[in-house]
């Protein structure tokens, strides 16, 4: 039975319309996150070259340091330190290549204009990239960790599993927050982004202590812990994963480092949101993506 057109039906008030609009905005951004994460999750086994670059190469580097420590007759826990650092290498490579350079790549391919013109938040685009990158890198890291642990006989002694998982998740959150900040910077710097990714890879490996305890760097290690999420998270995970080992002193306990990661996550996400909002406003209002500092 059709509705009577002469029956008065009140239109929704402004509050109901605003609530409906908010729901639509939330759902649009949720679909955006899923859409940007999909190709990374779906492409885990499709791109065979990724298996080579993200599993074999970090594993070779890890193996080289294992043999060095064994030749130097270092304590057995140092082999475990290297294996854990090799697993975390996958996340840093994903941040510096798949996150920091992503917007610059999209600009080069002509897709960035579509992002700014579409009715979605640009932050949701990077959140989708981050979520997909976490899933993709986690599989690579688990493979490296399992193979190296079995091959080199690493023994873990974890006393606080909950704190270890929390530190791992906070490390990823802070890392990908830093990746969002770098994505904005690389977009403004243009073609120099590629050279910056090349420049930052090895220095970050060194100052983050991927292959040795960060405490051995002294003051430089303390500065790295105050700036780099990878250095903080890796140091805390080593202390928690090898609780029975004689871990070198000079760094904060895992509980303090977890708080440092919380602060880093909030700060990096806040900076990234401000920078992306600024770029989005410039792109839509003035048709440019560079900031003119007064």
Q: In this predicted model, what pLDDT tens digit does every residue of 163-205 receive, in sequence order?
A: 999 999 999 888 888 888 888 777 777 666 667 777 777 788 8
Residue 289's pLDDT is what? 61
Question: What is the pLDDT, as a whole number, of residue 40?
Answer: 75
**Each residue's pLDDT tens digit, 167-178:** 999 998 888 888
Which of 125, 127, 234 is CA-nearest to residue 176?
127
How far apart CA 239 and CA 293 sit, in angstroms, is: 44
Specify the pLDDT at position 294: 42
Burial 227-262 (b: 16+ CB within 10 A, else e): ebbbbbbbbbbbbbbbeebebeeebbebeebbebbe
- From the list 96, 230, 176, 150, the residue with the least C-alpha distance to 238 is 230
What are the CB-based long-range contacts (under 8 Å, 24+) for 227-231?
A: 228/204, 229/171, 229/174, 229/175, 229/177, 229/178, 229/261, 229/264, 229/265, 229/268, 230/88, 230/91, 230/92, 230/171, 230/175, 230/204, 231/207
pTM, two decimals, is: 0.78
Q: Tokens 């949701």 sit at which residue?
A: 124
Structure tokens at 170: 């906070």
What is the pLDDT, as a whole number, of residue 20? 52
- Give the pLDDT score at 260: 92
Low-confidence ranges of the chain (pLDDT < 50): 1-13, 16-17, 293-294
In our burial notation (b when 16+ CB lie closer than 10 A, e otherwise), range 50-63 reads eeeebbeebbebbb
**CA dihedral for 236, 241, 244, 247, sign (positive or negative):** negative
Lookup: tokens for 112: 């960035």
State the pLDDT at residue 7. 41
On whether the CB atoms of residues 107 and 187 are closer than 8 A, the answer is yes
């Amino acid at each position: 039975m059709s509705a009577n057109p002469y029956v008065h039906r009140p239109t929704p008030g402004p509050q109901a319309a605003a609530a409906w609009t908010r729901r639509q905005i939330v759902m649009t951004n949720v679909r955006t996150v899923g859409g940007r994460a999909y190709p990374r999750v779906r492409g885990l086994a499709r791109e065979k070259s990724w298996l080579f670059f993200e599993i074999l190469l970090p594993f070779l580097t890890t193996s080289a340091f294992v043999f060095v420590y064994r030749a130097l007759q270092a304590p057995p826990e140092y082999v475990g330190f290297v294996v854990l650092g090799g697993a975390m290498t996958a996340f840093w490579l994903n941040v510096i290549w798949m996150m920091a350079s992503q917007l610059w790549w999209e600009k080069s391919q002509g897709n960035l204009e579509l992002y700014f013109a579409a009715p979605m938040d640009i932050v949701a685009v990077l959140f989708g990239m981050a979520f997909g990158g976490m899933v993709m890198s986690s599989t690579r890291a688990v493979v490296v960790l399992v193979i190296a642990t079995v091959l080199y006989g690493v023994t873990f002694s974890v006393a606080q599993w909950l704190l270890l998982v929390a530190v791992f998740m906070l490390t990823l959150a802070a890392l990908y927050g830093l990746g969002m900040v770098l994505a904005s910077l690389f977009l403004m710097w243009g073609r120099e982004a590629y050279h910056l990714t090349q420049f930052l890879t090895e220095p970050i490996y060194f100052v983050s202590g991927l292959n040795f305890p960060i405490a051995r760097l002294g003051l430089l290690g303390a500065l790295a812990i105050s700036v780099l999420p990878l250095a903080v998270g890796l140091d805390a995970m080593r202390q928690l994963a090898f609780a029975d080992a004689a871990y070198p002193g000079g760094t904060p306990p895992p509980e303090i480092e977890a708080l440092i990661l919380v602060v880093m996550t909030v700060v990096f996400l806040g900076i990234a949101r401000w920078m992306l909002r600024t770029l989005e406003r410039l792109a839509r209002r003035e048709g440019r993506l560079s900031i003119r500092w007064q």
